[in-house]
Amino acid sequence: MTSAQQRAALQRQIWQIANDVRGAVDGWDFKQYVLGTLFYRFISENFASYIEGGDDSINYAELSDEIITPEIKDDAIKTKGYFIYPSQLFANIAKGANTNDSLNTDLAAIFDAIESSAGGYPSEGDIKGLFADFDTTSNRLGNTVADKNSRLASVLKGVAGLDFGDFQGNKIDLFGDAYEFLISNYAANAGKSGGEFFTPQHVSRLIARLAMHKQESVNKIYDPAAGSGSLLLQAKKHFDDHIIEEGFFGQEINHTTYNLARMNMFLHNINYDKFNIQLGNTLTDPYFSDEKPFDAIVSNPPYSVKWKGSDDPTLINDDRFAPAGVLAPKSKADFAFVLHSLSYLSSKGRAAIVCFPGIFYRGGAEQKIRKYLIDNNYVETVISLAPNLFFGTTIAVNILVLSKHKTDTFTQFIDASALFKKETNNNILTDKHIEQIMQAFDSKKEMDHFAQSISFEAIVSNDYNLSVSSYVEPPDTREKIDITQLNAELKTTVEKIDRLRADIDAIVAEIEGDCV
Look at residues 385, 403, 397, 309 and name the one whose alpha carbon lies nearest to residue 347. 403
Judge whether 416 and 383 are in contact, CB under 8 Å: yes
* Average confidence score pLDDT of the chain: 89
In our burial notation (b when 16+ CB lie closer than 10 A, e otherwise), range 312-333 reads eeebeebebbeebebbbbeebb
Per-residue pLDDT of 90-111, as tens digits, reads 999 999 999 999 999 999 999 9
Q: Which amino acid is at 458?
A: A
Per-residue pLDDT of 347-372, as tens digits, reads 999 999 999 999 999 999 999 999 99
Judge whether 321 and 327 are in contact, CB under 8 Å: yes
Residue range 408-420: average pLDDT?
Answer: 96
Tell me, what's the pLDDT at 191? Answer: 55
Q: How far apart are CA 421 and CA 426, in angstroms?
A: 9
220 — pLDDT class (breaks 50, 70, 90)? very high
166 — pLDDT class (breaks 50, 70, 90)? low
3 — pLDDT class (breaks 50, 70, 90)? low
Preceding omega of 293 cis (within 30 degrees of 0): yes
Judge whether 353 and 338 are in contact, CB under 8 Å: yes
Look at residues 339, 232, 271 and name the one whose alpha carbon lies nearest to residue 123. 271
**Per-residue pLDDT at 169 exceeds 70:** no
In our burial notation (b when 16+ CB lie closer than 10 A, e otherwise), range 70-106 reads eeeeeebbeebbbbbbbebbbbbbbeebeebeebbeb
Q: How far apart are CA 8 and CA 181, in angstroms?
A: 10
Residue range 270-284: average pLDDT?
Answer: 95
Residue range 284-299: average pLDDT?
Answer: 95
Residue range 278-288: average pLDDT?
Answer: 96
- Give the distance between the most distant pair of CA atoms in the chain: 130
Q: Which amino acid is at 179?
A: Y
In which element (H, E) is residue 4 found? helix 3-22
Tell me, what's the pLDDT at 338? Answer: 98
Judge whether 385 and 416 are in contact, CB under 8 Å: yes
Residue range 155-182: average pLDDT?
Answer: 74
167 — pLDDT class (breaks 50, 70, 90)? low
Q: How far apart are CA 288 and CA 224, in angstroms?
A: 10
Q: Taking each helix axis from N to C terminus, what angle separates 255-267 and 230-238, rounded to the nearest 10 degrees?
A: 20
Per-residue pLDDT of 13-31, as tens digits, reads 888 888 877 776 777 677 8
Q: How far apart are CA 304 and CA 327, in angstroms?
A: 14
Higher pLDDT, 128 or 475: 128
In which element (H, E) is residue 503 found? helix 483-515
174 — pLDDT class (breaks 50, 70, 90)? confident
Higher pLDDT, 175 or 170: 175
